[in-house]
A and B are shown apart, each in its own frame.
Chain A
Amino acid sequence: MDIDQHRISTAVNGARHTKTVESRLLLSDFIRHELLLAGTHVGCEHGVCGACTILFDGLPTRSCLMFAVQADGHEIVTVEGLTSGGDGLNPLQQAMHEKHGLQCGYCTPGILMTMTAFLDANPSPDEAAVREALSGNLCRCTGYQHIVDAVLLAAERMRGARP
């Protein structure tokens, strides 16, 4: 049987990639093993844990529930795209660091992507809103409290930095 392949062109973290992929290749596997952007992690492959969350055309999306072929002509941002190279951390990452919002770090990229979009749309959330926004990302290490603290701190700092 012939393998069903398609040529796709997708922008990932601002860089254009053109590749030939098998139709059944999951977007998560494409990102990790074709583009070698291994920061996006795979936790369940059934859309529950949120570890694989990326921004697809700016919206947080489970990359394990999409096929690479669907990314043709679309834009993806992964955790590697949150900072423009170098050793810096953006305000959300910095707050996660200061508040100890990560332990093993496996769920962290998915949480960063979800919270990046959330804070963009909700610059002044309260704790309840943060917990609700976070509820689609599972963490088995932290018990969430420090993550919530980090998001609230990041929101406060980002508000303060606005012109």
Chain B
Amino acid sequence: MTTRYFGAPIPRNEDQRLLTGRALFVDDVELPGMLHAALLRSPVAHARIRKVDVSAALQRNGVVAAYTANDLGAFWQPGPLLVPPPPIDGITFNLRTNAPLAKDKVRYVGEPLAIVIATSRYIAEDALADIAVDLDELPAVVDLERALAGGASLVHDDLPSNISAYVRQTKGDYAAAARRADRIVRRRFHYEHGISSPMETRGVVAQWDERSDQLTMWDTTQAPVFVRNGLAAMLNLSERQVRVIAPFVGGGFGPKIMMFYPEELLLPWAAMKLRRPVKWIEDRLEHFVATTHERGQIHDAEIALTNDGRILGVKDVFLHDTGAYDPYGLTVPINSQCTLLGPYVVPAYDSTFTAVFTNLPIVTPYRGAGRQHGVFVMERLLDIAAHELRIDRAEIRRRNLIPASAFPYDNKIIYQDFAPLSYDSGNYEPILDKALEAIGYRHFIEDEQPKLRAAGRNVGIGIVNYVEGTGIGPYEGARVQVQANGRVSVATGIGTQGQGHFTVFAQIVADQVGVDVKDVDVVTGDTDRFHWGAGTFASRGAVVAGNAVSEAAKVVRQKILKLASEYFECAEEDLVLEAGHVSIVGVPGRAVRLGELAMKANPMRGAVKPGTEPGLESTQYFGPPGGTTASGVHAMIVEVDPDTFMLEIKKYVVVHDCGTVINPLILAGQIHGGVAQGIGNAFFEKLIFDDTGQILTASLADYLLPTSLDVPRMELDHIATLSPLNPLGIKGAGEAGAIPVGPLFAQAIEDALELPRKGIELLEIPLSPGRLWELAAMAAGS
């Protein structure tokens, strides 16, 4: 078998369509008679609903329908629990989910109150102003600590408090570790991750064909199979009557896998009721409240160390803002809790979190999915310890790395996939060494920095570690089939939002089956084409679906060899698969086109033997026993203007281990994109709410995404410790770039401005020039 494509930087199969403007995104769907929806969203964060009266809206020319919660009848119900909490002892979890339209109470600005359907979006928006709404405002819960204080307004008044969940996980004995410690560093950290803000917002088009009793839905979802299953159940249809298509999607990053968003339920319901297709496209203003967020945590954390910087234990108590509802369970805070441990030996760990309801939009995973928060805490504790113990920041990390001989390394606590947090493989010290070399750490600290400082320049360096549990189950599947025309079709249930699945899956198949990578057609995200699977999330697409594709391709390869050996009457070992043909080694002129072989495998006469299948096709599934742990190091040199506190990144290095690499060009793109989002999170993007729960940063002029002038050129390097948990040895890479950037900024800026010497510590993300000035001014004043 050749490996012409696997591991090669192949340019993508999907580019042609995207570059010429011929790729179908959800708003490109145009159907005869299509109507347009707009949602009336709560203007206040917390209120009892007295009245929502759509009668005036119905009078407007061009308005076809308008619905409130009461119009939905039996269809109205709070949504399902999407991800159950892991089986951890002593857990408290209060499930509260949102309904498609609010009924008695609204709990966040943006919660849908009504839906209007009209002949154009313009008219639908006009009609929103016609709807009479009577709300009795209640005090809004916005601050996490005040939410838990006595007398706080209750987001869910059938609960005794605003606690969504309480989880404690421990390993070892932290109290004993603290007693033994030479030094304990204790701080409070604030970490806010922002919103995904993909360039394409969400959208849904629903079409009900009453003659065939079929519902078709185009949806920007990362989980079309789950959406199909849930919708079918809710609409009293069989799964075969529902087709969910995730077309080209303009960026997902996590929030597009939140499921049963109100619009995903209301649109098909309305399409069936009105017997006309209906389209809803989220506009940018809506996106700030209607699509899920990640937001903040407050950590009171401490680390117990020996004088030579070895970690004896970590204790962390944190609050997690889950928003007004918690349908997605505890994925985000569990990831924070688990990923805090990082690549380090932490003999004792005591971590407790309280997830808190607030009158703010729902929090669900966004690229990194809570890992950022945990990594920030650990990396900052190590930096502070390094300063207090007078140990170099890279060195203190080195001393605590899990050694290469210690894998699989069992951290014992439970991870988001319900399995114990076991790191399957890894080799952390070489990654640190490569990063230090690439950034020129020694030379910078000993030579460049002193020189530049003497010239009045404020330059600093940072280096941070992280690990990432990727490639979790439950499973994915793929079907590979050789067509009569010699092209190979691949179908899998996950969706694609730019990760290059049309290429990486083609690379896997092309090598196995001996065709050109361009002759492999991949379909993702269409439940009619493949109807089992979970979705694209948690850095698992390449790992789980990739391995399923590989298994299916291997079976197809076996079928090709078996059939060809019968056809040529020779041994399978004598056959070679190349350039879309099967031929016999050393016998030129004896070859058969794959397509022809496929036709022979589906005869019009004769017999297909019992126990075999027609065609050259196979469907296989892959379910990993647990997540596989990727890891990496980021390093950065910055310069900070000491007067304005504006910052320039002079150099940025990523060294990464994601096991086997299918396509290094696509991998590099994923890392670049992740780092860019990390830079946005660290220094530019800040969601600001006032104390009534109003969002003050609801436009792209206020919520600042990094531009080409804000993201530097990056240098990337890799090592590969293959995962033993899947045949291809792959680990996920989708979120890696985004995870450690916050603590990297904090460390590098502290170094550039010599803040620790001035008694200033950066214990929060996001930072900004203005915030740095404030902290410096406060320290100068005190």
Task: Name A residues whose Cβ lies closer than 8 Å to a Cβ of B.
Answer: 22, 24-25, 32-33, 36-46, 48-49, 51, 78-80, 82-83, 87, 89, 93, 96-98, 100, 102-109, 112, 127, 130-132, 134-148
Closest 4 CB pairs of A and B: A39-B21, A106-B250, A104-B498, A105-B18
Tell me whether chain A's interface is mostly helix, strand or loop, or mixed.
Answer: loop
**Complex: how many Å from CA A139 to CA B705?**
9
Is B677 in contact with A140, judged by CB distance below 8 angstroms?
yes
Contacts of B9 in A (CB 8 A): 100
Which of chain A's residues has its CB closest to B29's CB?
Answer: A38
Render B22-33 as a binary contact track against A, CB cut-off 8 A, 1 for contact.
111101101000
Q: Which residue from A32, A102, A130, A134 sits with its C-beta under 8 Å from B18?
A: A102
User: Which residue of A87, A132, A134, A146 contacts B16 across the interface (Cβ within 8 Å)?
Assistant: A87
Interface residue B199 (Cβ < 8 Å from any Cβ of A): yes
- Contact between chains at B27 and A105 (CB < 8 Å): no
Give chain B's interface residue range (CB within 8 Å of chain A): 35 or more
Complex Cα distance, B199 from A19, in Å, reads: 30
Asked whether, in the complex, the Cβ of B672 is within 8 Å of the Cβ of A89, the reply is no
B684 to chain A, nearest CB (A): 12
What residues on A are CB-neighbors of B19 within 8 Å?
79, 89, 93, 96-97, 102, 105, 108, 112
Partner of A147, one of B668, B671, B708: B708
Interface segment, one of B550-558, B564-572, B592-600, B709-717: B709-717
Give every chain A residue within 8 A of B253 (Cβ-Cβ): 140
Most buried by B among A38, A46, A49: A38
B664-701 contact mask (Cβ, 8 Å, vs A): 1 or 0: 01101111111111000000000000000000000111
Q: Which residue of B lies closest to A108 (CB)?
A: B18
Docked-complex contact A38 and B28, CB < 8 angstroms = yes
Please report whether the interface of chain B is mostly helix, strand, loop or mixed according to DSSP: loop
Number of residue pairs across A and B with beta carbons under 8 Å? Answer: 176
- A140 contacts which chain B residues (CB < 8 A)? 196-199, 251, 253, 673, 676-677, 705
Check: B707 CB closer than 8 A to any chain A CB. yes
As a 0/1 sequence over residues 494 to 517 of chain B, the CB contacts with chain A under 8 angstroms (1 = contact) are 000111100000000000000000
Beyond A44-B699, A131-B709, A143-B676, 4 extra complex contacts between A and B, CB < 8 Å = A46-B701, A106-B199, A139-B199, A143-B672
Binding site for A on B (CB under 8 A): 9, 11-12, 14-16, 18-25, 27-28, 30, 122, 196-201, 248-251, 253, 283-284, 497-500, 665-666, 668-677, 699-701, 705, 707-709, 711, 713-714, 737
**A48 and B701 in contact, given A89-B16, A97-B11, A142-B672 (Cβ under 8 angstroms):** yes
Complex-state Cα separation, A106 to B22, whole angstroms: 11
Could you say which of B24, B122, B673 contacts A141, with CB atoms under 8 Å apart? B673
- Is the Cβ of B25 less than 8 Å from the Cβ of A145? no
CA distance A34 to B247 in the complex (A): 21
Judge whether B699 and A103 touch: CB under 8 Å.
no
Task: Give the complex CA separation of A84 and B19 in angstroms.
Answer: 13
Let me know if A45 and B283 touch, CB within 8 A. yes
A100 touches B676 (CB 8 A): no
Report Cα–Cα, A8/B676, bound state, in Å.
Answer: 42
Q: How far is the CA of A102 from the CA of B699 in the complex (A)?
A: 24
From A22, A40, A49, A102, contact of B15 by CB (8 A): A102
Q: Which residues of B contact A46 (CB under 8 A)?
A: 284, 699-701
When distances are taken between beta carbons in the complex, the residues of chain B under 8 Å from A103 are 251, 498-500, 669-670, 673
**Given A135-B707, A143-B673, A106 contacting B251 (CB threshold 8 A):** yes
